Amino acid sequence: MKSLKNLSIPVLVFASALPALAAAAPKAGNKPAEKPPLVIQAQGFSFSVSQPDGWLADEQAMKKYQANLAFAPQSEPGKEPGAAIVIQARRKVNENIALSLESDKQAYRQKDPGVQFSALDVKHPLYAVFPQLISKPGEYYVYTTYLNPKGFEVFFSVVMPRKKSAATPQELAAYRQVVESLKVIPEEKEEGE
């Protein structure tokens, strides 16, 4: 049987395999515990992330954006969701992730001279974040946060693209939850390494 870490495509591993589930089980008389995070394994690394309430993993968005994971809000059948939260893990060239964001901003400037850049209030409890709202009001809004888990070979891009209108407060809350919950899972060393 192949090891999941040798696959080149992202694989969703449900957190039921995590020992944390036992600790998260509701106790008698208590309200139900928070949902455990999803664990995603890709080639050479794994990460965990919380799935926002009312949002589902979206396979079409994963393919469209070549992402490790994407969430879309639950919507009525036949109605396309207005937002998607897309997570991409990228290999680092160096620890200066701000340069990667600046390079992406420069590409936007060349493609669309009317683009605007605004501050975006997003934080992470462990990792350095580089958030930015990239927009052309009335046409598009791209909520972008780069996260740098120092000491790991990857950094993360969490993006929520929107057409025509800015994100709703509920969409921004879901976006922040994804960013704040994202964590690299260190690989366990196999014996003999």
Domain spans, the chain: 4-27+35-185
pLDDT at residue number 77: 60
Q: Identify the helix (H) or strand (E) that includes residue 171.
A: helix 169-181
Q: pTM for the full model? A: 0.78
Contacts of 43 (CB under 8 A, 6+ apart): 5, 6, 7, 8
pLDDT at residue number 192: 55
CA–CA distance, 70 with 63 (Å, rounded to integer): 9
Place of tokens 């057409």: 163
The top-level CATH class assigned to 4-27+35-185 is alpha beta
Give the pLDDT confidence of 19-34 residue by residue, as tens digits: 332 333 344 444 445 6
Give the pLDDT confidence of 99-144 residue by residue, as tens digits: 888 988 999 999 998 999 999 999 999 999 999 999 998 899 999 9
Give the pLDDT confidence of 39-98 residue by residue, as tens digits: 998 777 889 999 999 999 888 888 888 899 999 998 756 556 667 999 999 888 888 888
Question: 3-state class of 133 per DSSP?
Answer: strand
Instruction: Check whether 10 has a pLDDT greater than 90.
Output: no
- DSSP letter at 16 equals G
Between 191 and 136, whose confidence is greater? 136
pLDDT at residue number 21: 29
pLDDT at residue number 85: 95
pLDDT at residue number 177: 96
Inter-CA distances, 162 with 59, 83, 140, 154, Å: 18, 6, 6, 26
